[in-house]
């Protein structure tokens, strides 16, 4: 369908003027009336927009109050004008004036003959029909509508709005477009063509400017006058073309010259070839090294797997630390409960022993006073003291029977430990201990074995060490493991009593075995070994076991108990063996040794008491005074032996000061000096010599004994002199053997010269 050409106001005005001139010739007599009608009709559309929106009463409100009444012709003119105004309310002022002047002239000329005094206001249907006819009259000839009666379509309304600007809706009736109106294909093609033409024109303009600039620069270079119009580009090209001049003569060509040039050329090519060959070999080597690197990277573990491993290990360590932080409170409470239970038992036994010692001592003192005795010579005691004496004697009888059943014949009274408790107290003690151990088993009952089993934990870290040794040693895992394993080991040591002979050894415990295996597997990989894993066991013992031993020594250990001392020394030797390879001094170890020395000093001061009675009171070995004195002497000798059991653990100076200086010279020798020389005294001296460590006398060049044994050697010589004049002359040989053992060889030789020995004795002593 052909496009409708745009109508201009100028053409419409020309047409209107033609029609107006024709009407003027026919109706010349009525020009004033028609002119007035045209004027009124022409001015009405100007106010048509202001009357819009007032409903259907806008026609009567627009009539001028000063207008004269008209006849039928005026009414008809107004009727036509009303329809025209309502039809073209959106047209411009110029177009509206032309159209209405044409309609008013024609209508007025036709209706002058028949003037009706009645003014008829058209209804809506009439106005719509008039508007439609006017639109059809404006339709171009190339478009004929088939439907004449249908209402105005959207396209027709749009065209009428485009043709008549006066019919535009008000601002509040316009539809605001928020998106650009879609363009047709022809519009887009036209727009692209215009853009391309603009770009091409800009490029051509830039090229022209570039050519002008180049010509200016070339003029400056060759100094060409500005007025001379010369095509430099053409001249520059023509200069490059040189004509061959036949008059020029070249030097003669010789075969040697050609050969020389060829050789030079060949040499250059060979050098270039060699350089290329070297580059080629270098590239081949780079390719081989790259392939090797690729293979190594492909054979190596994947980064994603490494990341997952490290992330899993990090999560594992965080979980186990959280678990141990939560459980450590329960572990400390259980340890405190166990220490409290053992401490009560130890304090009860120590108090009972000291009370019984005081009671027996006071009882014997009273017994030695004759004025406090009764007529029959027996001491009057109350029921409480009598009951205590019976209890003490009953416990001694039980220990004596137990020794007889075990076959111990050489045991002396006072050498056994009085650590028996009544049955009720023993039952209560075992019940409380069982409750604590039962609670101990519940500590990790809700924890997986990977977080509470020492062996499983070490296996995790062993996998880390085997897969990624560099990061393992850079993380100093060997220094962190002892602290991480400490709570788990403390739980296993909760039932461990180092003072019992039947207690399990440290080297037999599961954690000890697991750590040892972990260290042995670490020693196999010597490439990255930095020594931290080798110190794990010693660090664990130093941080966990040694403090527990220190607590037992300070709170529970009884130095007078031989069984406790032997068991304690065995466990201490196992623990101290791990520090033998280390040059550094452990603070916990030093604290333990100081606690041992302090505890033995306290025992010497509080538990050793050997009374000295007059000989009248000691008549007969079965007298109470003699038995009490014997028991106290053998008790002191037992402590002397227990102290010397620490040989190799404590320094020799400390042992000699405790055992020889504070105990032997202060208590035992004084008691021996007060005793009657005889086989019993020699036997006691032999027992003292047997307790002395042989390591003190290993030096073969020694001719004199250690200084702390000087008093003991003097007592032996005095006893030999006394026995030489008695019936116990044969005991002198035993004294000589004791002197030889303590390396008092000079005194032994002099004594042998005075009292010859039997051949067997002389051969055994080597004197």
- DSSP string of 45-99? GGGTTTTTTSGGGHHHHTS-TTPPP--HHHHHHHHHHHHHHHHTTTS-HHHHHHH
Average predicted confidence (pLDDT) for the chain? 74
- H/E/C letters for each residue in 287-320? HHHHHHHHHHHHHCCCHHHHHHHHHHHHHHHHHH
Q: Which two tokens stand for residue 349?
A: 């036994």
Mean pLDDT of 426-436: 91
Q: Is residue 164 part of a domain?
A: no
Q: What is the pLDDT of residues 563-622, one digit of tens each?
A: 899 999 999 998 888 776 555 568 889 999 999 999 999 999 988 888 877 665 555 667
Prediction pTM value: 0.59
Is the pLDDT at 197 greater than 80, yes or no? no
Is the pLDDT at 288 greater than 80, yes or no? yes
Angle 460-465-467 from CA coordinates, rounded to 5°: 95
Q: Which of 717, 658, 632 is nearest to 356 (CA)?
A: 632
Mean pLDDT of 467-489: 91
Q: Is residue 682 part of a domain?
A: yes
| Whole-number pLDDT of residue 646 | 94
Mean pLDDT of 549-568: 92
| Whole-number pLDDT of residue 552 | 93
Give CA 422 to chain center in angstroms. Answer: 55
Is the pLDDT at 74 greater than 60, yes or no? no
| Whole-number pLDDT of residue 224 | 52
Give the range of the structural domain holding residue 681, as residue numbers without chain letter: 651-759
User: Would you say 501 and 508 are in contact if contact means Cβ atoms under 8 Å apart?
Assistant: no
3-class state of residue 409 by DSSP:
coil
Domain count, the chain: 1
User: Would you say 644 and 658 are in contact if contact means Cβ atoms under 8 Å apart?
Assistant: no
Q: Is residue 734 part of a domain?
A: yes
3-class state of residue 144 by DSSP:
coil
Q: What is the pLDDT of residues 646-683, one digit of tens each?
A: 998 999 999 999 999 999 999 999 888 888 888 888 88
Is the pLDDT at 522 greater than 70, yes or no? yes
Q: Is residue 267 part of a domain?
A: no
Is the pLDDT at 209 greater than 90, yes or no? no
Q: Which two tokens stand for residue 171?
A: 């601002």
Is the pLDDT at 337 greater than 90, yes or no? yes
Mean pLDDT of 60-66: 40
Q: Which of 200-204, 228-232, 382-386, 440-444 is the least confident region?
A: 228-232
Give the CA dihedral 297, 299, 302, 308, nearest 10 degrees.
-140
Range of 184-193, 320-329, 522-531 with top mean pLDDT: 320-329
Mean pLDDT of 215-241: 58
Q: What is the pLDDT of residues 111-139, one digit of tens each?
A: 444 444 466 788 888 888 888 888 887 75
Is the pLDDT at 230 greater than 60, yes or no? no
Q: What is the pLDDT of residues 10-32, one digit of tens each?
A: 444 444 444 444 443 444 334 43
> Other CB atoms closer than 10 Å to residue 396's CB: what's the count?
15
Q: Is residue 655 part of a domain?
A: yes
Q: Is residue 700 part of a domain?
A: yes
Q: Is residue 72 part of a domain?
A: no
| Whole-number pLDDT of residue 158 | 44
Q: What is the pLDDT of residues 359-373, one digit of tens each?
A: 888 887 777 765 444
Q: Is residue 751 part of a domain?
A: yes
Cα gap 101→88, rounded to integer Å: 14
């Amino acid at each position: 369908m052909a496009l409708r050409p745009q109508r201009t106001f100028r053409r419409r005005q020309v047409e209107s003027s033609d029609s107006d001139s024709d009407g003027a010739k026919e109706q010349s007599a009525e020009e004033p009336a028609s002119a007035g009608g045209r004027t009124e009709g022409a001015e009405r559309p100007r106010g048509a927009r202001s009357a819009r929106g007032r409903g259907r009463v806008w026609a009567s409100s627009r009539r001028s109050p000063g207008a004269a009444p008209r006849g039928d012709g005026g009414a008809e003119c107004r009727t036509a004008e009303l329809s025209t105004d309502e039809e073209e309310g959106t047209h411009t002022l110029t177009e509206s004036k032309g159209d209405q002047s044409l309609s008013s002239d024609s209508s007025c000329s036709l209706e002058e003959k028949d003037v009706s005094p009645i003014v008829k206001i058209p209804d809506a249907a009439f106005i719509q029909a008039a508007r439609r006819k006017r639109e059809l009259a404006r339709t171009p000839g190339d478009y004929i509508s088939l439907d004449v009666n249908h209402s105005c379509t959207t396209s027709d309304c749009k065209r009428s709005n485009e043709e008549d600007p006066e019919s535009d809706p008000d601002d509040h009736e316009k539809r605001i477009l928020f998106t650009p109106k879609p363009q047709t294909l022809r519009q887009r093609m036209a727009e692209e063509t215009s853009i391309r033409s603009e770009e091409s024109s800009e490029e051509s303009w830039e090229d022209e400017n570039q050519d002008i600039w180049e010509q200016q620069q070339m003029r400056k270079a060759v100094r060409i006058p500005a007025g001379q119009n010369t095509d430099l580009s053409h001249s520059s090209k023509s200069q490059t073309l040189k004509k061959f001049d036949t008059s020029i003569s070249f030097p003669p060509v010789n075969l040697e010259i050609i050969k020389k040039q060829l050789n030079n050329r060949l040499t250059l090519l060979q050098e270039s070839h060699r350089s290329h060959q070297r580059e080629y070999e270098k590239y081949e080597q780079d390719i081989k090294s790259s392939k090797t690197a690729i293979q190594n990277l492909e054979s190596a573990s994947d980064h994603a797997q490494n990341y997952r491993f490290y992330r899993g290990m990090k999560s594992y360590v965080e979980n186990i630390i959280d678990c141990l932080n939560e459980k450590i409170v329960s572990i400390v409470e259980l340890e405190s409960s166990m220490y409290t239970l053992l401490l009560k038992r130890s304090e009860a036994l120590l108090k009972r022993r000291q009370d019984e010692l005081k009671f027996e001592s006071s009882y014997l003192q009273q017994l030695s006073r004759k004025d406090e005795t009764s007529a029959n010579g027996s001491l009057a005691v109350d029921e409480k003291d009598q009951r205590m004496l019976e209890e003490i004697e009953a416990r001694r009888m039980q220990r004596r029977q137990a020794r007889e059943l075990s076959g111990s014949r050489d045991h002396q009274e006072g050498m056994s430990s009085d650590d028996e408790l009544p049955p009720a107290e023993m039952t209560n003690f075992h019940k409380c201990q069982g409750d604590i151990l039962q609670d101990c088993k519940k500590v990790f009952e809700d924890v997986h074995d990977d977080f509470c089993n020492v062996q499983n934990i070490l296996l995790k870290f062993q996998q880390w060490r085997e897969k990624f040794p560099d990061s393992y040693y850079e993380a100093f895992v060997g220094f962190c493991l002892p602290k991480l394993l400490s709570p788990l080991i403390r739980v296993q040591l909760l039932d461990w009593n180092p003072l019992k002979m039947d207690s399990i050894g440290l080297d037999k415990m599961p954690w000890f075995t697991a750590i040892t295996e972990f260290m042995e597997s670490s020693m196999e990989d010597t490439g990255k070994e930095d020594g931290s894993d080798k110190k794990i066991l010693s660090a664990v013992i130093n941080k966990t076991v040694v403090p527990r031993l220190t607590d037992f020594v300070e709170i529970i250990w009884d130095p007078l108990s031989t069984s406790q001392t032997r068991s304690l020394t065995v466990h201490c030797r196992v623990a101290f063996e791990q520090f033998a390879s280390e040059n550094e001094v452990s603070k916990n170890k030093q604290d333990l040794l100081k606690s041992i020395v302090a505890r033995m000093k306290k025992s010497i001061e509080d538990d050793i008491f050997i009374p000295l009675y007059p000989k009248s009171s000691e008549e007969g070995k079965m007298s109470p005074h003699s038995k009490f004195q014997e028991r106290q002497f053998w008790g002191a000798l037992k402590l002397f032996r227990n102290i010397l059991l620490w040989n190799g653990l404590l320094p020799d100076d400390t042992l000699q000061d405790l055992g020889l200086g504070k105990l032997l010279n202060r208590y035992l020798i004084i008691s021996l000096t007060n005793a009657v020389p005889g086989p019993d005294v020699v036997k006691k001296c032999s027992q003292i010599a047997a307790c002395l460590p042989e390591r003190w006398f290993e030096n073969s060049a020694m001719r004199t004994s250690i200084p702390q044994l000087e008093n003991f050697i003097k007592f032996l010589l005095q006893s030999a002199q006394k026995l030489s004049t008695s019936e116990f002359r044969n005991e002198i040989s035993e004294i000589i053997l004791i002197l030889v053992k303590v390396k008092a060889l000079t005194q032994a030789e002099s004594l042998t010269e005075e009292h010859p020995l039997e051949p067997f004795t002389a051969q055994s002593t080597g004197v």
